Structure 1
Amino acid sequence: MRADGPVVIALDGSPHSEHTLEWGLHEASLRGADVVLARAWTDPRDLVEWSWYPMVDAELDAETTTYLSEKQAVALDRYPELTVTTRSVRGGEVPVLRELSAAAQLLVVGARGRAGHLRMGSIAAHLAAHSRCDVAVVRGGEESWPVPGAPVVTGVDGSRASLAAAEAAAREASMRSVPLVVVHARPTISDPYGRGMPALSARAATDVDVNDPTHRAAQAVGTRLRTQHPGLEVRVALLDDDPAHALVEASKEAVLVVVGSRGLGAFRGMLLGSVSSDVVRNAASTVLVLHDGLHDGPPD
């Protein structure tokens, strides 16, 4: 998790952009980071293909620049302590934002984008896997802010990525002064999203299977995080459930879910592990995806 570079907030003019902007500004304020408001633009496809009307690139650039300037004014009014700049870039959203992510500590994108009826837009899905820095996929709006004191949630499975996610989640929880819930789930069902499948309840954190080394390891992670972050309330939830399903269920009561880009089940070359991918697509809350910087090549 990088500590240098700005927080890049991707805006696309959709209604959801307002919530994405507010979430990104609040996160940048917590981190004490600079902010870059970014928007990519391209010539309208029908005009490019048919060339019925002349279209000057400068006009589109000016329109985007005006939009970003308006959002910059809003940002500085709400967070006068932040340094906020803007970037209007011609090109596809995924390649433009991925390029900007190379020098950033965090890329903030809306989950839905312009296709507001979709739970997960293709832009957010691509960037969650291909960004060169950590990515926050923002969900919700003013009507669905989490209750005060809602926890940050993360999952641990013993992988390096999950342990890094636990460290990052502890920092996020400490910055927000909220509890941290560390989830360790043992798979017990083949289709956690099957019809009529009831959600499995958590085992009590004190109900540790002493014969299960993963239970002991999860408890050890919780103990270490409490030591490293004095005053932070750390809860360890031991579940018999599919890991992705457990995190999605926990996200319903969370302010943020933090996942690593790859877990134990991800094979070399896989940019986003199956658990992280499921959580990004289905979580009820904003999801922070950590990247380890090991995939700097072009996306497939």
Structure 2
Amino acid sequence: MRTDGPVVIALDGTANSAHTLEWGVAEAVRRQADVLLVRTVDEAWQVTAWSWYPIVGGSDVDGEAVQYLADQQARLLERHPGVPVETRVLHGQVVPSLRELSADAQLLVVGARPRDGRGRTGSTGAHVAAHARCPVAVVRAARTTPEAPVVVGVDGSSASLAAAHVAAHEAWMRGRALTVVHARPTIPDPFGRGSLPPLATDDEDDPTHKAARVVAENLRADNAGLVVDAALVDDDPADALTGMARGAALLVVGSRGLGGFRGMLLGSVSSAVVREATCPVLVVHDNG
């Protein structure tokens, strides 16, 4: 994972962009990284929305994007005058444009439409997180407290172990505790009576429980002063993580990558977490 590139903050001009910008700048300050503010302009809709021909003499979308980024840059520098910040307008579809830019970034920050109780978060953040070449933070405004922990999910995979180490560093930088969550899904009852709890749920010598505790112990050893708690949950992993992370400072998940290209698709748990979580989510790709 790169540590020398900029923190790229993608803004779309919606009401949530102010929170996305604030969150991304705070992360850049913690990392002592440069900031690159970007906005994507996709003019293809003008062709598809008005038959086969492009619109001539339409609004200056590109100029509006340039001015918008300049305004955001000015506001950023008022609050953080020492942060190096540049702006860039991208042209084309959002996901491919951000994926190309992410190759040289250490973190890509995107906003997510706030949940309103009527449905899940929009899919753009999930698509960007799936295809980017660097860690992606999907940011949504959420209430938190100074005591709120960083939460990470582990399942023994290399991707989740990489995520655990990133989460420990994020918690240490923030001065927060870290909660390591391992969830084992319940077993469907073959007789159709709901589900059965996993075997050896309360057995501390169970190999799965021991492995999760070892991860927590290693993170404590590698990060002096970091408070690490282990939570062993018998539940659907995505439901367990989003539930444990309600009100958390950050939820970190690993992405193994599925299909023909490593890192190109999110696993089902990571995808569900990005869509359902009510706190910021950091997706760490397995580049091993």
Report the TM-score when normalising by structure 1: 0.84
Q: Distance in 2 between matches of 1:32 and 1:208?
A: 44
**Is the alpha carbon distance of 1:278 and 1:62 closer, same or farther for their aligned partners in structure 2, counting shifts above 3 Å?**
same
Deviation at 1:178, TM superposition (A): 0.5
Deviation at 1:139, TM superposition (A): 1.1
Q: Deviations over 1:14-66 (max 9, x none)?
A: 00111111110011111111110000113373467355852368x32221111
Query: Which residue does the alignment assign to 2:35?
Result: 35
In 2, are the aligned partners of 1:112 and 1:124 still within 8 Å (CA)? no
Alignment of 1:154-233 (within 5 A): 154-188=152-186, 209-210=204-205, 212-233=206-227
Query: Which residue does the alignment assign to 1:147?
Result: 145
SS in 2 for 1:97: helix
Q: Distance in 2 between matches of 1:118 and 1:70?
A: 32
Deviation at 1:77, TM superposition (A): 1.4
Deviation at 1:253, TM superposition (A): 2.8
SS in 2 for 1:136: strand
SS in 2 for 1:85: strand
Query: Which residue does the alignment assign to 2:57?
Result: 55
Q: Which amino acid aligns with 1:148?
A: P
Q: Distance in 1 between matches of 2:121 and 2:259?
A: 24
Q: Deviations over 1:93-128 (max 9, x none)?
A: 111111111110111001129x9x864223212101
Deviation at 1:79, TM superposition (A): 1.6
Aligned residues: 276
In 2, are the aligned partners of 1:4 and 1:105 still within 8 Å (CA)? yes
Gaps of 5+ in 1: 192-196, 295-300
Q: Distance in 2 between matches of 1:9 and 1:251?
A: 23
In 2, are the aligned partners of 1:180 and 1:232 still within 8 Å (CA)? yes
Q: Distance in 2 between matches of 1:62 and 1:254?
A: 38
Q: Distance in 2 between matches of 1:235 and 1:21?
A: 30
Q: Which amino acid aligns with 2:139?
A: V
Q: Distance in 2 between matches of 1:7 and 1:19?
A: 15
Gaps of 5+ in 2: none
Q: Distance in 2 between matches of 1:208 and 1:4?
A: 44
Report the TM-score when normalising by structure 2: 0.87
SS in 1 for 2:248: coil
**Is the alpha carbon distance of 1:128 and 1:32 closer, same or farther for their aligned partners in structure 2, counting shifts above 3 Å?**
same
Deviation at 1:89, TM superposition (A): 1.8
Are 1:284 and 2:278 counterparts? Answer: yes
Deviation at 1:293, TM superposition (A): 4.1
Are 1:122 and 2:141 counterparts? Answer: no
Alignment of 1:81-120 (within 5 A): 81-112=82-113, 119-120=120-121
Q: Distance in 1 between matches of 2:124 and 2:282?
A: 15
In 2, are the aligned partners of 1:37 and 1:85 still within 8 Å (CA)? yes
Large movers: runs of 4+ above 4 Å: 50-53, 266-270
In 2, are the aligned partners of 1:132 and 1:293 still within 8 Å (CA)? no
Query: Which residue does the alignment assign to 1:250?
Result: 244
Query: Which residue does the alignment assign to 2:233?
Result: 239
Q: Which amino acid aligns with 2:153?
A: G
Q: Distance in 2 between matches of 1:7 and 1:78?
A: 17
**Is the alpha carbon distance of 1:6 and 1:52 closer, same or farther for their aligned partners in structure 2, counting shifts above 3 Å?**
closer
**Is the alpha carbon distance of 1:7 and 1:29 closer, same or farther for their aligned partners in structure 2, counting shifts above 3 Å?**
same
Q: Distance in 2 between matches of 1:280 and 1:20?
A: 15
Aligned-pair Cα RMSD in Å: 2.9
Deviation at 1:135, TM superposition (A): 0.4
**Is the alpha carbon distance of 1:180 and 1:47 closer, same or farther for their aligned partners in structure 2, counting shifts above 3 Å?**
same
Give the percent of matched residue pairs that are identical in Structure 1 and Structure 2: 55
Q: Distance in 2 between matches of 1:73 and 1:118?
A: 35
**Is the alpha carbon distance of 1:189 and 1:280 closer, same or farther for their aligned partners in structure 2, counting shifts above 3 Å?**
farther
Q: Distance in 1 between matches of 2:7 and 2:157?
A: 27
